[in-house]
Amino acid sequence: MKRVTINDVARSAGVSRQTVSRALNDKAEIDGGTKARVLEAARALGYRPSRFARGLVRQDTVTIGLVIPDLRNPFFTEIAASALEAARALDWHVVVHDTTDQAEQEIATLRVIGSQVDAVVGYFSQPEAEIERHIGGLPVVFLGREHRNPRFSSIRIEGAQGIAEAVAHLIAAGHTRIGMLDHNRKPSPSIRQRWFRSAATAAGLELDPAWVLGADQSVAGGAAAFAELHAAHPELTALFTFNDIIAIGALREARRLGLRVPADLAVIGFDGLELGALVEPPLTSVAIDTTRLGRLAIEDVARLLTGERAAAPEDLVVRGELRLRGSA
């Protein structure tokens, strides 16, 4: 399905394209009944006038809304930076919205963003119907989430193979008792935990459910969760974490407890943050190419805005790759 156009509204209302334009721009030379019919057709179809069509902007002043759940998390900061760089190469503007990982703030963002931008890119937890209700006919590109509505698009993160490589690396180093610190939010378990369990099962490992614990997505959260996990299960010799921030917290707590990394405890994160290279020992991680992620998102927006053929799903995937450093 294509984005609803002014021609679709004209056909639905039984009027000309020019009449639709006059009604939407509140011109005096159209009678009230016709205007009401046009506006109702536009509402029913979810039509939003393109800023291009209204002649308000040139293509080199496209404005993109970038919705990020938590700019305090360096992973999302890296994504924002890469999207800004890709948009800047096209002379586009980007308006960044931080939803602070709260459903209420996400809904508040949805209420205002549709009138500010030409397209939306980002992370959303709300159902698609709720997003469409606020965004209307604007192009939307999800990051890290599958889409169902054919009017939307998605840049997927595929970490299964990278996590399988991480598990194989740990097994090759002699580890069979591997724990995990997942996130502590819904939905639970995370897709990364499912990838981890699948990789472990395929490798012939039996994972005790008690070896997996939820953690707040922060350094302090990772430290607290590892302290709890280690106290209950000191037999664990390796740890995989939902993201690098949690892993860095776990590394800090492991050192406080007198554990040597990786001699006593191997640690592997997920994200591949540049920050991970600065901790001691440097963090091994399943790395996501955030530069590619941001570039793909902006390229996909360009296709949606110009009506080009949608990219093949396999071309809109960023795959995690094991990045070996010193912690495992």
pLDDT at position 161: 96
pLDDT at 115 over 80: no
pLDDT at 98 over 60: yes
Confidence tier at 309 by pLDDT (50, 70, 90): low
pTM recorded for the entire structure: 0.78
Average pLDDT over residues 118-122: 89
- For residue range 291-307, list pLDDT tens digits in order: 999 999 999 988 887 77
Burial 131-141, CB ≥16 within 10 A → b, else e: bbebbbbbbbb
The rounded distance, in Å, linking the Cα atoms of 150 and 125 is: 18
Query: Is the Cβ–Cβ distance between 90 and 105 less than 8 Å?
Result: no
What is the pLDDT of the chain when averaged over all its residues?
Answer: 87
- For residue range 178-230, list pLDDT tens digits in order: 999 999 887 778 999 999 999 999 999 988 999 999 999 999 999 999 999 99
- For residue range 265-276, list pLDDT tens digits in order: 999 999 999 999
Burial class of residue 288 in the structure, from the number of CB atoms within 10 Å of its CB (0-12 exposed, 13-18 middle, 19+ buried): buried
Average pLDDT over residues 268-288: 95
**Cα–Cα–Cα angle for 307, 313, 317, nearest 5°?**
115
The residues facing 120 across adjacent strands are 65, 140
Query: Is the Cβ–Cβ distance between 149 and 130 less than 8 Å?
Result: no
pLDDT at position 48: 66
Which phi and psi (to 5°) does residue 142 adopt? -80, 145
Full DSSP string of 124-143: --S-HHHHHHHHTTS-EEEE
pLDDT at position 62: 83
pLDDT at position 8: 82
Lookup result for tokens 């707590």: 253
The DSSP H or E segment spanning 154 is strand 152-158
- For residue range 28-67, list pLDDT tens digits in order: 667 888 888 888 888 888 776 655 444 444 444 788 999 9
